[in-house]
Structures are given as structure tokens and as C-alpha cells.
Amino acid sequence: MTALKGNLIFGQSGGPTAVINSSAAGVFEEALKHPDIIGKVYGAAHGIVGILQENFYDIGQEDPEELKLLLGTPSSILGSCRYKLADPAEDDTDYKKILEVFRKYNIRYFFYNGGNDSMDTCDKIAHYLDQQGYECRVIGVPKTIDNDLWGTDHCPGFGSAAKFVATTTMEVFLDSRVYDRGMIIVLEVMGRHAGWLAAATALAQATGYGPDLIYLPERSFDLERMLEDVSAIYAKNNNVMIAVSEGVQTADGRFIPELVSEVAVDAFGHKQLGGAAQVLADYLSSKLKAKNRGIELSLLQRSASHIASGRDIEEAYRVGAESVQAALAGATDVMLAFRRCDGSDYRIETFQMPLSEVANKEKVIPQEWINAAGNGLTAEYIDYALPLIQGEPKQIKVDGLPRFARLRKIQAGRPG
């Protein structure tokens, strides 16, 4: 096979993670090893938006030492976006512009790092370029703390978020038990449709320092039943800690803040507003006459690179580097996915998933990994998740604080 010569562009999309920049480092470092095939390596500002606006940087001009620091730098170094492309059958304006930009800059390798929506974007672009007879290798690079990408054992970003969530849960558990009086703790964890990350509180539970109850979007939520669960534990222990996924909802689709605000007019004499954690904590307090803390892990859970999983960092880098290798070998319109190897030791291998099979699907926790009462996880979940949080980050620190990568971001396009 003749090598496809041309330039490469890489973009980051969707919510950032602690390790999305590790994948960027993997793509960049591997791509820069092949200057005879890949002439220029570009980084798109704000994902596909940067491509549409011809706003991208020449990564070859970055200091290699700074690229290495990407492994300890959270968030999206290039900027991200939540831009959704139209169906090309209805409106192909963006696609035409992308093709125009790709022709103008001779882009033959397009890598897009993101979640479900981004894989859909990738797939649509790959098909459009193919239809137009423009040869370009399009590769989806997986990432999401939600861990809900279809077809892959797990997603880069999840292990680090899970390690932060489990560690923090253990610490908060200890803190919440110091006084000789009752306390209700409600921890709210990200995850709109899949409970993988809220379930990481079960890793803390397995150590003896975790929540009594865990509620996930995979099971429909019943406020009365939860109150029964909580009351029983509180009566016994004078203490209760619960973890809820932000996406928890009733069978008829009402989320916790909405649900509680309806019943809370009675409880408080006014409507309750706010996130699930505080609303639920206040509600339980009013019922059990106990002090409470509602704790939302907010942006911390996806940006805590100081407690990232060492394994997650390595794997995020690897999937970036291997994406380049796959594209050089001819792959296109695929996402690189992880498969767990057989055997008692944790090992993974990567394989290629057609983007059409990944796009717009969501992987949720198997029902059989959730206990019968719907308020906890089984040992299968622990066995699945525990290997993903192993290893400590080797973050460079200066004066006790992280030294993040500083890119020069030399403009290589013609933004206007």
C-alpha cells in the first residue's frame, strides 16, 4: 500500500477530562515521528468549530517538553465545543466548508477525541468526504468520564474520574462521622444517562468508607422507597451517606430537583431549588430531623489531574498513539476501542470499531451488576472498575502546585 501523504488535524470535543490531553500527546508525539508521511500536525481550536473557522495551531512548533507535560494537564488544551453537525442530507453547509478547509490545507488525517456525539460527528464527516471522493483517514479517539461509549470495555477519562470520586468519597465518609450526632450526606456525581461514575462510590464502599446507598439512572427512582431505605439505616446508625447520579429519574422522567420541589412545598412551606444533592439532603433532613451536607462534585470530578489514574493516563496516551498507527496502516471511519484480555491479570488490547456502530448509542451498567433493591452495586462492578483506577500520576510540580503544559499555539490557519 502506498502511504497517504498529507497533513493531520486533531480536535477535542465535549466535556473535558483529566486525561484528554494525554490522548492529544499520544496523537501528537506519534504523528510527529512520521514527517515523511504526515507533513504538518495541526491542533484545532475548539474542535470542529476551529476547523470550520480555519482556527488551528501548528503542533510541530511546540516544545516537546511541553507536549510531555500534557500528561499532567487536565481539561482540553486546545479548547472544546459542543457543536453538533446537521444531517448532511438536510444541510451540508458545514460539510462543504470542512471539505474546503481539508483541501486547502491538504488534511488527510482527521482525529476527533470525544464521546458519543463526537463519534457521530466523525462518522458523518467520514461518509461525506468519502462520497465526495476526498481521501482522508478519519479516526475517533474515545474519551468520556461517563464511560458510556458503546463497544469499548471502558473509556479514557473514566478511570481518573472514578479514582477521584472513590478517594473523595472515602475522605468525606470519615469527615462525616466525627461528631456524636446524626448526619446525612448526599453526594451528587456526574452522569446523565449512565451511572458508571456514581457507581465508583461503590469502590469506596468496598474499603469500608463509602455510601450506604447508591442510586443510578439505570433504575427508575422512587423517592418514597429511598426515604424508607435511608430511614432504616439512619435509625440503626444515626448516620447515612448516599450517592446519587445527577441523571437519576423517576419512571415518568422527573429528575430529583423537580421531584423534590413538588413534595417539598409541604415539607418546607416553599419550593426547593438547586442541584440534586442539596435538594435531596434538605428533604431527608426535614424528614429525619438530622443535620445534612449536600455535596456536588461538580467540575472537580472531571478535572482532578492531581489524583488521576496512572493507568488511565497511560491508556489515554496509548489510544492516541495507536490511532495514528492505525490510520497510517489504512484505517478510517473507526474508533479505537479497548478489549480486556483473558486471564486474571488486567491487560487490554485495542481494536477498531466502525464509527457507525458507536455513534449515538449509550452503554449503561448491566442490570445484573446492580443489586436487587436498586441501591447498590454487585462484586462484578468492583471487579470491572478497580483495575481502572490503579497507579498514581507522575505530575510535575513547581512550588507544590502542578506545572501544566503551556503551548505556544502558533496559528496555522486563517481564522476570520
- x-or-dash string of contact with a second copy, 210-249, rule CB under 8 A: ----------------------------------------
Which among 1, 8, 4 is positioned nearest to 323, based on CA atoms? 8
| Listed residue (374, 15, 89, 68) closest to 214, CA to CA | 374
Contacts of a second copy in 73-102 (CB under 8 A):
73-76, 79-82
Which residues partner with 242 through β-bridges?
A: 186, 213
- Among this protein's residues, is 266 annotated catalytic? no
Q: Which is nearer to a second copy, 149 or 389 (CB)?
A: 389
- How many C-beta atoms surround the C-beta of residue 170 within 10 A? 18
CA gap 158, 309 in Å, rounded:
9
Nearer to a second copy, 168 or 285 (CB): 168
According to DSSP, the residues that pair with 401 across neighbouring strands are 398
Question: Nearer to a second copy by C-beta: 88 or 391?
Answer: 391
Contact 76, 115 (CB under 8 A): no
Which residue in the set 106, 207, 220, 411 belongs to the binding site for a second copy (CB under 8 A)? Answer: 207
Applying CB under 8 A, the site for a second copy has a residue count of 62
Question: Taking CB under 8 A as the rule, which mask of x and - marks residues 384-413 in contact with a second copy?
Answer: --x--xxxx----x-xxxx-x---------
We find the least distance from the C-beta atom of residue 207 to a second copy, in angstroms, to be 6
| Residue 175 binding a second copy, by CB under 8 A | yes
Closest CA to 76 of 23, 34, 122: 23
Letter string b/e over residues 323-358, b meaning 16 or more CB atoms within 10 A of that residue's CB: bbebbbeebbbbbbbbeeeeeeeeebebebbebbeb
Distance CA(244)–CA(375), nearest Å, equals: 10
Q: Are 230 and 195 in contact (CB under 8 A)?
A: no
Q: Which of 146, 229, 282, 333 is catalytic?
A: 146
Can residue 350 be called a binding residue for a second copy (CB under 8 A)? no
Within 285-314, the residues that bind a second copy by CB under 8 A are: 293, 295-296, 298-300, 302-307, 309
Binding site for a second copy (CB under 8 A): 12, 16, 45-46, 49, 73-76, 79-82, 163, 166-168, 170-172, 174-180, 203-204, 207, 209, 270-275, 278, 293, 295-296, 298-300, 302-307, 309, 386, 389-392, 397, 399-402, 404
